[in-house]
Amino acid sequence: MSTKPRLFFFLFLLVTCQAVAQTDSVDHAGRKIRYWNNFLLGGLVGDHKETFFSFATTHGVRLGRLAVGLGTGLDAYGDWKVIPMFASASFDFARIKNDALFIQMNGGYGRALYTGEDRVGVPSGVENGGGKMLNPMLGYRIKADRFRIYIAMGYKFQRNKYSYDYNNPIWSFAPAEFPRYTVQEDMQRFVLQMGFGWH
Amino acid sequence: MDTLENRLQRRIHVSLYALLFLTVLLGISVLLEGCSDKCQLTTEYAYYEPVYTPLAELRTSVRVEEPRALESVGKIYYKGETLFVNEPGNGIHIINNADPAHPVAQKFLSVPGSFDLAVKGNTLYTDSYVDLVAFDIRDLNNIHETARLENVFANVNSLGFIVNASGVVTDWAQKKMVNLSEPDCETVLQPWGGVYYDRGIALTSDAQSNFNAKAAITPGTGSGPGVGGSLNRFAINAGHLYMLDGPDVQVIDVTTENSPVAKSRVNVAWGIETIFPYDKNIFVGSTAGMHIYDISTPEAPVKVSTYEHVRSCDPVVVDGQYAYVTLRSGTACQGFTNQLEVIDIKNLASPQVLKTYPFTNPHGLGIDNTTLFICDGDDGLKAFDASDINAIDQHLLAHYKDINATDVIPFEDVLMMIGTGGIYQYDYSDASKITLLSHIEVVPHVD
Instruction: Say what the pTM is.
Output: 0.64
B37 touches chain A (CB under 8 A): yes
Q: Which residues of B touch A174 (CB under 8 A)?
A: 48, 160, 172, 197, 201-203
pLDDT bin (cut points 50, 70, 90) of residue B22 is low
pLDDT of residue B332: 57
A33: confidence class by pLDDT, cuts 50, 70, 90: confident
With a cut of 90, say whether residue B96 has pLDDT above it: yes
Percent over 90 (pLDDT), chain A = 51
pLDDT of residue A176: 60
- A190 and chain B in contact, CB less than 8 A: yes
By percentage, how much of chain B surpasses pLDDT 90? 48
Per mean pLDDT, which range of A108-122, B5-19, B206-220, B352-366 is the poorest? Answer: B206-220
How sure is the predictor about A142, in pLDDT bands with cuts at 50, 70 and 90? very high
pLDDT given for residue B62 in this prediction: 95
Has residue A93 got a pLDDT over 60? yes
Average pLDDT of A135-155? 91
- Residue B4's pLDDT band, with cuts at 50, 70 and 90, is confident
Partner residue opposite A185 with nearest CB, options B37, B196, B207: B37
Q: Do A174 and B172 touch (CB under 8 A)?
A: yes
Q: What torsion do the CA atoms of B160, B164, B170, B176 make, to the nearest 10 degrees? A: -70
Confidence of residue A16 (pLDDT cuts 50, 70, 90): very low
Q: What is the 3-state secondary structure (H, E, C) of chain B?
A: CCCHHHHHHHHHHHHHHHHHHHHHHHHHHHHHCCCCCEEEEEEEEEEEEEEEECHHHHHCCCEEECCCCECCCCCEEEECCEEEEEECCCEEEEEECCCCCCCEEEEEEECCCCCCEEEECCEEEEEECCEEEEEECCCHHHCEEEEEECCCCCCCEECCEECECCEEEEEEEEEEEEEEECCCCCCCCCCCCCCCCCCCCCCCHHHCCCCCCCCECCCCCCCCECEECCCCCEEEECCEEEEEECCEEEEEECCCCCCCEEEEEEECCCCEEEEEEECCEEEEEECCEEEEEECCCCCCCEEEEEEECCCCECCEEEECCEEEEEEECCCCCCCCCCEEEEEECCCCCCCEEEEEEECCCCCCEEEECCEEEEECECCCEEEEECCCCCCHHHCEEEEECCCCECEEEEECCEEEEEECCEEEEEECCCCCCCEEEEEEEECCCCC
pLDDT at B347: 92
**Closest alpha carbon within chain B to A126:** B189
**Highest mean pLDDT: which of B6-15, B93-102, B319-328?**
B93-102
Helix or strand (DSSP H, E) at A16: helix A3-20
B299 min Cα distance to partner chain A (Å):
37
Count of CB contacts below 8 A, A vs B? 127
pLDDT of B400 > 50? The answer is yes
Residue B431: per-residue pLDDT: 80
CB atoms B191 and A192 under 8 Å: no
The lowest-confidence range among B19-23, B61-65, B221-225 is: B221-225
Strand partners for B180? B42
With 50 as the cut, is the pLDDT of residue B207 above it? no
Other C-beta atoms closer than 10 Å to the C-beta of B33 total 13
Look at residue A9 and tell me whether its pLDDT is greater than 60: no
Is residue A4 over pLDDT 60? no
On average, the pLDDT of chain A sits at 82
CA-wise closest residue to B69 among B45, B41, B44, B90: B90
